[in-house]
Amino acid sequence: MRALIIDPFAGISGDMMLGALVDLGLPADWLRELAASLEVPVDVVVEPVRRSGIACSRVRFELPTEASHRHLADVLAVVDRSTATAEAKRLATRAFRLLAEAEAAVHGIDVERVHFHEVGALDSILDILCGVAGVVELGFERCFTRAVAVGSGSVEMEHGRYPLPAPATAMLLRGLPVRETGHPEESTTPTGAALLATLTGGARTPDTVVYGRSGFGAGARDPAGRPNCLRLIECETDADATAVLVVEADIDDMAPEYVSAARDGLLDAGALDVVLTRVDMKKGRPGVRLEALAPEPALTAVLEALFTGTTTIGARYWRVERAVLERTEEVVEWRGQRIRRKRVTLPDGSTRAKPEYEDVVAAARNLGVAPQTVRSELDR
């Protein structure tokens, strides 16, 4: 499995993530095309810089000054009108929902009332959307994290001075490994924390991996004596074939129309798959069993999503072994549409391929045809 190690040894921000992706091989022109699809005047500046002797790439957006505040629905509308893939839009949506939930919890308000002034400005929308889309574009199947550095002291925000890490940042880092640096400055921003939580779900780097290339993304500051940059390391690992956890709960007191939302919440929390089964409960009551397959690092997040998104008051979980086929991802062009296909190798050496459902549906919508028509033609 081709994976990405995110190493925030000096912290993480949106621009650091983009710089590291470009340094790792993401084409700057591809980045400019995606940014331009948001239909706002933006100039994407990519330049080589150094941070304490380390050669890095620096990415910044030159944008007009904004006076308006955006709510979550406004931000998601901007994401939706971009040319990003369905998977990138899904990840960006997840990141912004995490940001909104953290801000809402900090300020004690409803999620839909949060206005994204500091984390929802156009440059942050670009940071998040381009960051997750870049990971998808480079073909990484999984992301892992090392301990993320956080600073100390305080930072000036719209409502006053806040201790570091900022309250929303601390909430976004729940379940992730954190390292206190003692440096009196903001090392990890809410945008960076949202990217890290969304892409990794807190999954730690496996004990054994095979390293590939590294990329370094520069932060805006250049402090003396330490490199202010983010490192990304591509790697290969068979971690996907190791033990996973089955998380299970039986529910008979929940409105049926909300069960699918609970399933989506488990997937967003890091579950690899979720199965719903109709079951007969005690006293003859009909119920549903939610069974999630989750990597061990995502257990806390998956349990939290289960307890938050359903009426259950308990859950069972246990370790299981699984075997997986070797798989690769390829992109094909069909009637002007880019569609990802997952290709697996069978034990006898033969292969079979399956197009990604989200890409098939998006292509069908764009061309005004039935999804089954797309799938049938791709299978020829």
- For 326-340, the pLDDT digits (tens) are 878 888 888 999 899
pLDDT at residue 321 in the model: 73
Q: Does 326-378 carry CATH code 3.10.20.300?
A: yes
Could you tell me what percent of the chain has a pLDDT over 90? 54
Task: Please give the CATH superfamily to which domain 243-320 belongs.
Answer: Transcriptional regulatory protein pf0864 domain like (3.30.70.1380)
Of the spans 132-136, 165-169, 327-331, which averages the highest pLDDT? 132-136
pLDDT in tens, 341-356: 988 888 888 999 999 9
Tokens matching residue 36: 């331009």
pLDDT at residue 276 in the model: 94
Q: Per-residue pLDDT for 3 more than 70?
A: yes
Q: Per-residue pLDDT for 178 more than 60?
A: yes
pLDDT in tens, 67-114: 556 788 888 888 999 999 988 998 999 899 888 888 888 777 777 777
pLDDT at residue 379 in the model: 85
Using alpha carbons, select from 293, 317, 309, 314 the residue that is nearest to residue 254: 309
Confidence of residue 118 (pLDDT cuts 50, 70, 90): very low
Q: Per-residue pLDDT for 16 more than 60?
A: yes
Confidence of residue 159 (pLDDT cuts 50, 70, 90): low
Mean pLDDT of the chain: 88
- The CB density around residue 375, as the number of other CB atoms within 10 Å, is 17
pTM above 0.75, yes or no: no
Q: Per-residue pLDDT for 180 more than 50?
A: yes
Tokens matching residue 165: 């890490």
Per the model's pLDDT, the better-predicted residue between 1 and 35 turns out to be 35
Give the Cα separation of 366 and 122 in Å (integer): 26
| Residue 36 and residue 21 in contact, taking contact as beta carbons nearer than 8 Å | no
Confidence of residue 58 (pLDDT cuts 50, 70, 90): very high
Q: Per-residue pLDDT for 244 more than 70?
A: yes
Confidence of residue 158 (pLDDT cuts 50, 70, 90): low
Sketch the domain layout of the chain as residue ranges.
2-239, 243-320, 326-378
Residue 121: CA count within 13 A, CB half-sphere? 13
Give the Cα separation of 239 and 234 in Å (integer): 14
